[in-house]
Structure 1
Amino acid sequence: MSVAPDDSIQEYRETKPALSDGSASPDSRSTVANHSDLIKEALYPSDSYTPDGTYWADLPTAQRWKFATTQFNQESRREVKYVWDMFKRDPMQPFRAYWRKYVLTGMGLFVEGYVLFSIGNLSALFSSAWPRCWKTFAVCDENWVNAVTYLEILGIIVGQCLVGYEGDWIGRKFGLCQDALVMLIGSILLTGVWGTSLNGWVIAYGWSLFIYGIGVGGEYPMTGTKALESNVFGPEGTRDDRLHRGRNVVGSFLMQGWGQVFNQCVLLICLMIFHSGKTNPPFSPRTAQATYRVQFGLAVIVHFWLLYHRLYKVHDADALLSTTKKRQNVSGYDVHSLRLLMSHYWGRLIATAGSWFANDVFFYGTKVFSSTFIGIIHPGASLVVTWEYNLINLAVSLCGYYLAFVFIDHKLYGRRKMQQVGFAFDFLIYLFAAIFFHQLRVKGAPIAAFQFMYHFSSFWNQFGPNCVSFLVAGESFPASIRSTAHGFSAACGKLGALVPTVLFHYLDDRSKLWFAMPFGALGVFVTAVWLPDTTGLDLREQERYWRCVRAGKPELYHGIAIHPHHLSWYERVVLKRHRFYDPVQDRLDRIDELRVLYESSLIAESDESAHDVDHSYITPSVAEYFRREAPAEERIQRQITKERAIRGEGAPTEKVYPSRLEDTLGGI
């Protein structure tokens, strides 16, 4: 492996060589100390460890709070300064960086939010333009009118399960391109669909939504895994993974909110254009036709661009999955890991699927029946007034999205606490709204309080379970089955969306609040019991642990993936998976693995397992250190021993290190 020299290597070369007995000469000890600092940073990055090598979650409470707060503040100041320097060089550069990092990754969710969340708004427009079809059902079958929403959600469920499986079987890029193609076909159908009768048009409209929904469903596992795995390789990548992985995913996911905002604005503009500048009903069929076809037609253009971008510009989507499969000697779908998912991580699956289910009862319940809630706030509101209130609610939701974007990676708040707090607030808001329902409908201050509660529930839904459930559904699982687990969890969420879509037709307004309220308590419960807190945990640690689990030897892993802080209550208290956590032994293991990563390129011909090791984690200075310090024969034997232990071909032997290496790293 060729390594470009740097200043520290040059400093090393200028020192005196080691003595013949293998110990360091007096003049070279300072250089060895410098290299020990380089190895120390590789093993104990300063964003997660104290200078003496203590993991931040192992610190006493007061010190842990101080460490996490200081690290978050320092990183925030560094990023603000970096963005300001970019702005001074070129005012547009920060916006271009945001576009590349978040907008491009989340564009599929942008068009999903734009198209699918317009269905509820369009239903109100159709009821005004075609009341005998959409309101009295004189010329249209009521079951087919209601099926429009059902088919949309069923298509999403099919896409989530299907593409989630394909993403782990064929690859992430295949799933991304397939989603873009299916959504393009669906958007074309939605723009041009018609029938020989109004009822025939409704049926065609519903099935077009089903086709489009399949592509949308696949966007959830594909966008989630792509955003998760985009910054894993290399030292800088792992640092970004630890500090900003949640932000990378939420930054892509919140494009769904922007899609809803853009769609609501486009609908209002189109309605005023095609209704001669007026906003009062009744709206003619011609106005409704032009409004809904133009707003869908604009989406077709974006879908064409999205397909092109994913076909020709996305190149790194499968990097982590390919590396993982090669290391595990899997060419197709990793069935063995899927079985282990059901036996080893079933509790996490309950947490991700159950919390998503509970969240979507809130989220889709308020979206699908937003006109109902706005009708309570503003009785007799016209269609345009309803859309304006909905736009206000979307703006409040965006505030929640962006606060989640800021605090999702804070070690003291993070995923689990954010989801619990969001569920708790939604539970309390719906509880008080249900208890004081009649009092809150009085004009004046009470109805203003009702309006505040409605918008505030949307804020906490985003600054809580909606963003977190999308993130942890992939983050809590290893790469080889991440897309499958994410797709399954998302599909359970859409079952939660289906519940209010069906039942709210048979409940009065107050009963809707009573019905949704307990799902907030359910979300708090499943989060507290089964959801791990993966905030700040390197994805590589997940893969290190899973490799041992997959080999049937979880006791060989001693790292932070099984730290009590990163385990769920069930994993910690009932399964006691933290009992193998041993920072001292993990230090030895990681030194060994760093040595193996470097040596694998040199001994590839003698050991095939070395071909598929990611070497990007080895910096030039670390490579130079191991090149000078460790005998080749011992390194080869060490790798063979390690591989045999993981594969179950023999018990691990006692670790023996050269005296110089032990002296150098003993204080780390």
Structure 2
Amino acid sequence: MSTSPSDSPPLKAANEATTYSVDSSSTDSLPDRAVFDPILLPEDSYDVDGTYWADLPFTERVRFVLNYDIFVEGKRELGEIWADAKKNPFSPLITYFKSAVLPGAGLGLEGYVLFSIGNIKPLFKAVWKECWDTHGVCDARWVNSIEYLEVAGIMVGQILVGIQGDWVGRKFGLVQDAVIMFLGLVLLTASWGTSLNGWVICYAWCLFIYGIGVGGEYPMTATMSMESRTGTGVVSTKEDRLHRGRSVTSAFLMQGWGQFWNVVVLMVVLLIANGSGHPPYSEKAVQIAFRVSFAIPAIGTAALVWHRMFLKNTNQELDTQKKKSKVTGYDLESLKLTFTHFGGRMFATAGTWFANDVFFYGNKLFQSEFIKVITPDDHSVMTGWKWNLVNVSVSMVGYYLASLLIDNKLYGRKRMQIVGFMFDFILFIIPAFAFKYFTSREHIYGFQAMYFLSSFFNQFGPNSVTFLVAAEVYPASVRASAHGFGAAVGKLGAVAAAILYSYIDTQTKFYVVPWFGLAGAIMTWIWLPDTTGLDLSEQERRWRYIRQGRGEEYCGVAVHKNHLSLWERWMGIGKQYNPDRDYKMKISEMRAEWEEGRSKVKEGHAEEGCPIVWNEHVEAYFQRTAGRPADHDVIEHTTAEITHVNEKHQ
């Protein structure tokens, strides 16, 4: 918040008001800035002079961010972890389980199963070659349809459940997803046929059913993890501003753990069932391996259904925002306005997800080719799984590093995605033009390093960021729908990679795929806003202005240039940014919310709303000034008054 020099002392005093210890009888004497600054100018986003972190000069911004993130918030979190650990050594693990593992359990289970499909395919080819390889007894179209039906089911789930999540509610979508995934896993475990071709057909349709549940996990997990930390109304929460990205990506990275444990389980089960990890493999061993590998996540998914049935407050943010907009059912008006006002964002979140999935799934599809290059004389399925385990382990480092830095205001979402896309572009374009050089035995380690680094930067970049921003840059009323749409377009990238890789050789893949990384970086740079450090309640404020047809009147930080895309700035959005005016508007809005709640209680409708109380000082202030009009200038107070408050409460 920009201020004149004469404003600095009052603002500084007001920030210091956060440490006041006052009795209720003294709150009436607090001037307005001392009442509202601790709420409207939180210390994690504003300096002592009331300047928003993104308005600070670069060196001061760096100093402010590093000081608060490391020496204030970092110290606080580590202190809490240490204090809890002294009481119970397992407390940090329990906290991590509740905050990341449980919210991301659905994605962990689907990651396990979906990547199991690719992992067991070489095993099927080794035992039933006439069906899965030469197609002598199986229809090649049905064998190839396995991947396409799986992706089709996911896309149906992403769009359908995304709409349901905004229409019926988050909890309904979460429970429904788990039930469908459980049903799909039971069918996959028991899949059979009177012939190999009949079994392939059954297997393909079971994957389609399972895929519907998987697709719904994307918008539901993202919105649930995101909204669990948000504030409602004018005032936001520190957890939302500082750790929203970490909350979502911590749940998302469970997908990586799912991939990891799938490889481990398959290796152990095959060793036990076959007596060896090397060929020949018996049909019985393969039957045991793939059915047990599906039965294990079925048990976990059944537990997930039970857990989600008892979740509470999952719809709180959605219900609050719908209530403020006086909407029941599905908010079609917001959907239309989203395409009108956030069309560039729709293009960015869907387009970059498409580009990323060409890389992400292309990387998985290309993995067998990579293994052939580095181990030309080894045809063991176990060898492929070992290299897959290495690749997933490298990816996990990227997942966790993304979670660690995605909320950092000096790096954040947008830079992370651009850097990740550009590294993937570079790491694929280099071997494209020197393929024989890097695939020769004497330079094979360089080829390995580039392939594994591409996996690392995919997770420490677009794969993590696209999952977050596809929900984050939209209002709550259409958040799940927008995320589902972006994810579904992304899956078209997976289909494109599968089709493309079927017709081109290994070197040509390196010629073609890098350009999707470059395209993703360009789309991110032009059309994607950077929401790092922006609280969602502020974004919802802007959205309410847009719904009321007064979008140009909003002048808060949601239209700060740092939180808008390059395209939006070209379109003139953000010119109205005015922190001083916005401060006054926020107080007016807080008063309006307080008055509305108080009137409902007086009318005997306490169940519909109650007086909003931010703290005792605000309550006393609104009680004292109840007769003043909501648009009255509540800002002007003399330096002497502020000084008096400081001297009284120091």
Interval of TM-score (by shorter of Structure 1 and Structure 2): over 0.9
Aligned letter for 2:166? D
Structure-1 residue corresponding to 2:391? 393
**How much has 1:80 moved relative to structure 2?**
2.0
State the match for 1:309 in structure 2. 307
Which residue matches 1:79?
77
Distance in structure 2 (CA, Å) of the matches to 1:464 and 1:76? 23
Q: Which runs of structure 1 show a deviation greater than 4 angstroms over 4 or more consecutive aligned residues?
A: 7-10, 234-237, 605-617, 658-668
Distance of 2:537 and 2:610 partners within structure 1: 11
Question: Which residue matches 1:272?
Answer: 271
Structure 2 counterparts to residues 113-132 of structure 1, below 5 A: 113-132=111-130
- The one-letter code of the counterpart of 2:87 is R
How far residue 236 of structure 1 moved from its aligned partner, in angstroms, is 10
What amino acid maps onto 2:390 in structure 1? I
CA offset at residue 318 of structure 1?
0.4
Per the TM alignment, residue 232 of structure 1 is displaced from its structure 2 partner at its CA by: 1.4
> Does residue 323 in structure 1 map to residue 320 in structure 2?
yes
Shift of residue 60 of structure 1?
1.2
1:194 paired with 2:188, answer no
Structure 1 contact 594–618 (Cα < 8 Å) conserved: no
Per-residue CA distance 1:601-627 (angstroms, 9 max, x = gap): 222268999986797671334323333
Q: Which residue of 1 aligns with 2:381?
A: 383
Aligned partners of 2:362 and 2:494 also within 8 Å: yes
Distance in structure 2 (CA, Å) of the matches to 1:303 and 1:586: 47
* Equivalent position of 2:15 in the other structure: none
CA-atom RMSD in angstroms:
2.5
1:583 aligns with 2:579: yes
Give the drift of 1:566: 0.3
Q: Distance in 2 between matches of 1:342 and 1:660?
A: 43
Are positions 1:633 and 2:627 aligned together?
yes
Residue identity opposite 2:136 in structure 1: A
1:242 aligned partner:
241
Report the counterpart of residue 3 of structure 1 in structure 2.
none
Deviation per residue, 1:385-427 (Å, 9 max, x gap): 1100000000000000000010000001000000000000000
- Matching residue of 1:291: 289
Does the Cα contact within 8 Å between 1:597 and 1:613 map onto a contact in 2? no
The equivalent of 2:487 in structure 1 is 490
Give the stretch that moved more between structures: 68-77 or 556-565: 68-77
Question: May I ask how many residue pairs the two structures share in their alignment?
Answer: 626
Task: Look up the equivalent residue of 2:627 and give its one-letter code.
Answer: E
Q: What do the CA deviations read for 1:281-329 (whole angstroms, capped 9, x no partner)?
A: 12111111000000100111011101111112x1111000001111111
Distance 1:165 1:13 in 2: 47
Q: Which moved more, 1:657-666 or 1:57-66?
A: 657-666
Q: Distance in 1 between matches of 2:542 and 2:199?
A: 54
Q: Deviations over 1:514-563 (max 9, x none)?
A: 12110001100100000000001010001000000011111221100000
* Distance change (3 Å), C-alpha of 1:413 and 1:191: same
Match of 2:134 among 128, 133, 136: 136
CA distance in 1, matches of 2:201, 2:641: 74
The AA in structure 2 aligned to 1:309 is H
Q: 1:467 and 2:478 equivalent? A: no
2:602 maps to 1:600 = no
Find the aligned partners of 1:616 and 1:128 in 2 and give their Cα distance. Answer: 66
Aligned to 2:616: 620
Give yes or no for contact 1:327–1:612 (8 Å, CA) kept in 2: no
The 3 A distance-change label for structure 1 pair 241 and 257 is same
Query: Structure 2 length as normaliser, TM-score?
Result: 0.92
Q: For 1:543-562, what aligned pairs fall within 5 Å after superposition?
A: 543-562=540-559
Alpha-carbon separation, structure 2, partners of 1:529 and 1:233: 29
User: Is structure 2 residue 574 aligned with structure 1 residue 563?
Assistant: no
Q: CA deviation at 1:85?
A: 1.9
Percent identical pairs in the alignment equals 46
3-state SS of 2:574 partner: helix
Give the structure 2 partner of residue 372 of structure 1. 369
Cα separation, 2, equivalents of 1:331 and 1:585: 32
Give the Cα–Cα distance (whole angstroms) in 1 for the partners of residues 133 and 145 of structure 2: 14
Match of 2:148 among 147, 150, 155: 150
Alpha carbons of 1:73 and 1:477: their partners in 2 closer, same or farther (altered >3 Å)? same
Counterpart of 1:499 in structure 2 is 496
**In the TM superposition, what is the alpha-carbon distance from 1:206 to its structure 2 partner?**
0.4
Counterpart in 1 of 2:258? 259
Q: How do residues 31-46 of structure 1 correspond to structure 2 at under 5 angstroms?
A: 32=30, 36-46=33-43
Residue 436 to residue 611, structure 1, CA distance change in 2 (3 Å):
farther
Counterparts of 2:307 and 2:503, CA distance in 1: 45
CA distance in 1, matches of 2:568, 2:360: 29
Match in the other structure for 2:3: none
Name the SS for the 2:419 alignment partner. helix
The gaps in structure 2 that reach 5 residues or longer are 1-17
Give the 3 Å change call, closer, same or farther, for CA 414–611 of structure 1 in structure 2. farther
1:63 and 2:80 are equivalent in the alignment = no
SS of equivalent residue, structure 2 residue 583: helix
Conserved 8 A contact 2:435-2:507: yes
How far off its partner does 1:371 sit? 1.2
- Distance in 1 between residues matched to 2:344 and 2:213, nearest whole Å: 29
1:664–1:565 distance in 2 versus 1, CA, 3 Å:
farther
Asked if the contact 2:184–2:210 (Cα under 8 Å) also holds between the matched residues in 1, the reply is yes
Structure 1 CA distance, aligned partners of 2:371 and 2:641? 68
| DSSP-derived class of the 1:80 partner | helix
Distance, in Å, in 2 between the alignment partners of 1:374 and 1:563 is: 48
CA–CA distance in structure 2, aligned partners of residues 455 and 619 of structure 1: 52
Calculate the TM-score normalised by the size of structure 1: 0.90
Match of 1:11 among 22, 31, 45: 22
Q: Offset at 1:475?
A: 0.2
Judge conservation of contact 1:327–1:609 (CA < 8 Å) in 2: no
**Alignment-mate amino acid for residue 587 of structure 2:** I
Match of 1:176 in 2: 174
For 2:14, the equivalent position in structure 1 comes to none
The Cα of 1:460 is off from its aligned counterpart by: 0.1
Corresponding position of 1:456: 453
Contact 1:120–1:369, Cα closer than 8 Å, also in 2:
no
The one-character-per-residue Cα deviations of 1:177-230 (angstroms, maximum 9, x if unpaired) are 110111010000000000000000000000000000000000000000000100
Distance 1:616-1:527 versus aligned 2 partners, 3 A rule? farther
Any unmatched runs of 5+ in structure 1?
1-6, 19-27, 639-653
Shift of the 114–616 alpha-carbon distance from structure 1 to 2, 3 Å rule, reads farther
1:660, CA displacement in angstroms? 6.5
Per the alignment, do residues 659 and 587 of structure 1 end up closer, same or farther by CA in structure 2, a change over 3 Å counting? closer
Q: CA offsets per residue over residues 463-515 of structure 1, 9 Å max, x none?
A: 00000000000000000010010000000100000011112111101111112
Report the AA paired with residue 533 of structure 1.
D
Q: Distance in 1 between matches of 2:364 and 2:593?
A: 50
**Given residue 632 of structure 2, which amino acid in structure 1 is its aligned partner?**
K
Matched, 1:360 2:357: yes
Cα distance in 2 for partners of 1:244, 1:82 equals 16
The answer for the alignment partner of 1:643 in structure 2 is none
Q: Post-superposition shift, 1:655? A: 3.5
The corresponding residue for 1:437 is 435
Where does residue 9 of structure 2 map in the other structure? none
State whether residues 233 and 617 of structure 1, in contact with CA within 8 Å, keep that contact through their aligned partners in structure 2: no
CA contact (8 A) 1:598 1:618 kept: no
Distance 1:344-1:526 versus aligned 2 partners, 3 A rule:
same
Write the letter of the residue equivalent to 1:417.
R
Check whether the contact 2:34–2:642 (CA below 8 A) recurs between aligned residues.
no
Aligned residue for 2:11? none
Distance 2:195 2:498 in 1: 26
Distance 1:392 1:301 in 2: 27
